[in-house]
């Protein structure tokens, strides 16, 4: 079903960026990714602290994770916003 939407469903539809742009703006995706990463990073810091027992190491892990996962989430969100399945 997802493959149909990705491959077959978009054959004649070359203006998906235009439709995607009007359904949710990139700024909204950025705001959502920032708010989610704050929650996720706090979780990672707490788990890292529990596992390592070192707060400074936990914060280091959390800061690296904050940046990488925020970028990944932004692109993940933009891709899902262009898929018609389930809309």
CA gyration radius, the chain: 18
- pLDDT classification of 11: cutoffs 50, 70, 90: low
pLDDT at 52: 96
pLDDT at 23 over 80: no
pLDDT at 6 over 80: no
pLDDT at 7 over 70: no
State mean pLDDT over 68-81.
88
């Amino acid at each position: 079903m997802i493959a149909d939407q990705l491959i077959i469903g978009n054959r004649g539809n070359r203006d998906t960026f235009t439709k995607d742009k009007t359904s949710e703006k990139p700024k909204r995706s950025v705001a959502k990714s920032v708010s989610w990463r704050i929650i996720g990073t706090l979780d990672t810091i707490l788990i890292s602290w529990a596992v390592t027992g070192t707060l400074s190491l936990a914060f280091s892990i959390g800061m690296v994770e904050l940046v990488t996962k925020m970028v990944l989430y932004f692109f993940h969100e933009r891709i899902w916003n262009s898929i018609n399945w389930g809309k």
